[in-house]
Structure 1
Amino acid sequence: MDKLTQRLRASLLENPAVQIKESAQWYLPVETFDVAFKRVKRSKMDILMKMMLLAFEQTSIRRAANLSEMLLVEELFIADLIEKMQRTGLIRLEKEIYKLTTKGHQQLQTGIIDEEMEEEWTELFYSPGHDKFWPAMTVPLPESDEELTLYRYANDQDLINSDRILQVLSAREDGLDENGFQTVVANVLSFDKRVVEQVPCLEFRMYNKEQDIFYARVWNTWLERWDETLENQIEEQEQVKWREKWTAAAEVSE
């Protein structure tokens, strides 16, 4: 951390009109979630499947052979499709007659087939102080020689729910598979907070003599950049106090 601090100080002081009034180190909590979810593969319904679903909706079909004769399609092929439709919840046997389920009616109306995929797991990283999900770290967090205190404006509200997790996963995971089919995150099965990372941050309280302004710069070691969100939070709470404090100190020294 010492080398990083020295590098940042040198960068900030390149402008001769700038002064570093104070500096501090503290940690920002970042929560790690283990998330289980399922995606569906979406594809346009082909003519044969649409004809089969219409037949199940409008007539009493008991066996694959009946449908094979009606549609003039090989019985074995029809039987395989019936098994797939049952497995994916489009049809069910009711008094030995194939009937459309609610899902089957919906997909027949839209002409889009949703095929469930296997359960998947992933990690998500959430910063309560920003109320945002972050990308995974690209480099290890630096170690500090001193014990860091918690960021003084850390947010302790629990704002995470399955809808927010679904939004984040949809933005990250929705897309096309290797065969060109659209894959979409359908639902979040579970999300568990596993660990809270302590992310070191370096804060500099600054003064620009030419512009006569006090301001904050905060280096976020997870994001590896200056963090405007944290800087704005600190300035909103402390900027007026800084001016009173350092203006009074300047008057006394004179």
Structure 2
Amino acid sequence: MPDAMAAYSVGGRTLLVTANEGDARDWPGFNEEVRVRAHCPQGLDPAVFPNAAALIMDSGLGRLLVTNTPNAGQTGRNAAGQCTELFSFGARSFSIWDASNLQQVYDSGDELEQRTRALPKVAFNASHNNNTLDARSPSKGPEPEAVVVAQFGNRHFAFIGLERVGGVMVYEVTNPAEARFVTYFNGTRNGVTGDRGPEGLTFIPAVQSPNGRPLLVVANEISGTTRILQINLGF
């Protein structure tokens, strides 16, 4: 469930980069988000979840938010009412896809959370309006929200904004199947102060920049601030 997409071309092939935020339906009179412990009052099917008794606890999957409305025709439960399937929101990652056939060629997996688990000025998986440890762990984690791709010479870089924990991840995506982490910038966030909630990114190439240097503009939803970052190339 990407919230933003960007396209770039390498070797005559067009690639799509998606920021996999994920989002639940929350409308007047209908909200599909429910915690696993409430969604599965009869527990988890041990044939599907071998450690079902432990997983249903809050220390396992109990607090994870999942949908209470799975795909049409699916109940997600066995005859005893135990849950056999759980559908959560967002992949907590960014992905790269071949635009010609929509085959995934790369996904960052849990690396965004691995990279942000020991930040000096914000607790792990804190939200953008608090500094509470693990506040976002049951719900979409750092929440990849925005993405742009920039080209420097023959190299391509993806910039991914993390809405909740904040900051911008940078990956080189020249070889899409072997995207590699370059750096992470958390802006001026310090607990509940500074830049928080990056919602949109805009890249300004050097030829269009007022100072002749490539720039990245970060719009922060919660703090209501706009940060302009100068990109200093190291190659």
TM-score bracket for this pair, using the shorter chain length: under 0.3
Normalising by the residue count of structure 2, what TM-score does the alignment of the two structures yield? 0.26
Larger Rg: 1
Q: Which has the higher contact order (CA 8 A, sep 6+)?
A: 1
Of Structure 1 and Structure 2, which has the larger fraction of its residues in helix?
1
Normalising by the residue count of structure 1, what TM-score does the alignment of the two structures yield? 0.25
